[in-house]
Amino acid sequence: MDISVIVPLFNEAESLPELAAWIERVMEANGFSYEIIFVNDGSTDNSWKVVHSLRENNPDHIRGISFRRNYGKSPALNMGFAAAKGEVVITMDADLQDSPDEIPELYRMIKEDGFDLVSGYKKKRYDPLSKTIPTKLFNATARKVSGIRNLHDFNCGLKAYKAEVVKHIEVYGDMHRYIPYIAKLAGFSRIGEKVVQHRPRKYGHTKFGLDRFVNGYLDLLTLWFTGRFGKKPMHFFGLLGSLMFVLGFISVVLVGGLKLYHMYAGHSYILVTDSPYFFLALTLMLLGSQMFLAGFIGELVVRNSTKRNEYEVEERL
């Protein structure tokens, strides 16, 4: 099979028939063998009934997965990735803001240009400033942290993947925003970008909320830390803890040494415990000890993990 199109959806009943018909027209016009996988993320409208109807009309190409409740876009994509059978996997949102007309070029970029992943870039957007400005800040931070400098829109729902990519990554929580970064951490570094059309929303209302930017930055920090120190936590906690302890210890010695100097020189002096620097030094030593122990416990956890020696192998001879 050439292409699997994965469409996560939540309360998008009105747009589904039009989207399915549009995808089918594009696939037939280009002679692709394909499947469309609708993943219903616990919709409370009749979206799942619409998917049933679409499958009855086109059982050879339409499949569906339905969650009992709303889990989020990442779990929906992860389920779709597991079910996909195509050589190239395309993801797009169900709200008709992503154009299926982009599919042939995305497919070509994967198959002919050799990209592992191609992310859409909605250069011209039809969103209010309250959404576009935070989005630009978010993408700038993601580029800096991930090191993927050529991507301008990490969160674009329209993406294309080699089948190998989606079978080797796990998307959970709200990590769908960082799939290119997750793919890079898994060893898939050939990541490209394509400017795609952003269409105004035709039905329903946006699921956008400012809280996702707070969660997004926390998720990005998690990915950065686990990607860099996931298998060697002592390199982070142990180093930082040791530096803090040594700095605190030197400070204690200096505070005590200054008191002894003033005592023997006959100068006035204060008790060590009356100096605020003494307590700051003790705090550094305590925090340093705790950080070191955190790294040690982290190493024990990693050592006992069943995945401690799991590595991505590209080829064997």
Q: Half-sphere exposure of 15 toward its Cβ, with a 13 Å CA cutoff?
A: 24
Distance of CA 310 to the CA centre of its chain: 21
Q: Is the pLDDT of residue 202 over 80?
A: no
Task: Convert the pLDDT of each residue in 48-81 to its tens digit.
Answer: 999 999 999 999 999 999 999 999 999 999 999 9
Residue 183 one-letter amino acid: A
Of the listed ranges 126-130, 170-174, 250-254, the one predicted with least confidence? 126-130
What integer is the mean pLDDT of 277-301? 87
Burial 72-102 (b: 16+ CB within 10 A, else e): bbbbbbbbbbeebebbbbbbbbbbbbbbbeb
How are strands ordered across the β-sheet holding 88-91?
62-66, 34-40, 3-9, 88-91, 159-162, 117-121, 191-195
The whole-number pLDDT of residue 300 equals 81
The whole-number pLDDT of residue 306 equals 65
The whole-number pLDDT of residue 191 equals 96
Which pTM does this prediction carry?
0.76
3-229 has CATH 3.90.550.10 classification: yes
Q: How far apart are CA 62 and CA 142, in angstroms?
A: 34
Q: Which residue has the higher pLDDT, 312 or 34?
A: 34
Q: How far apart are CA 132 and CA 153, in angstroms?
A: 11
The whole-number pLDDT of residue 207 equals 55
Give me the residue spans of the domains in the chain.
Answer: 3-229, 234-303
Task: Convert the pLDDT of each residue in 98-113 to its tens digit.
Answer: 999 999 999 999 999 9
What integer is the mean pLDDT of 200-206? 67
- Whether 233 and 295 have beta carbons less than 8 Å apart is answered as yes
The DSSP result for 203-224, as a single string, is SS-----THHHHHHHHHHHHHH
Q: Is the pLDDT of residue 307 over 70?
A: no
Of the listed ranges 83-87, 92-96, 115-119, 257-261, the one predicted with least confidence? 257-261
Mean pLDDT of the chain: 86
Residue 120 one-letter amino acid: G
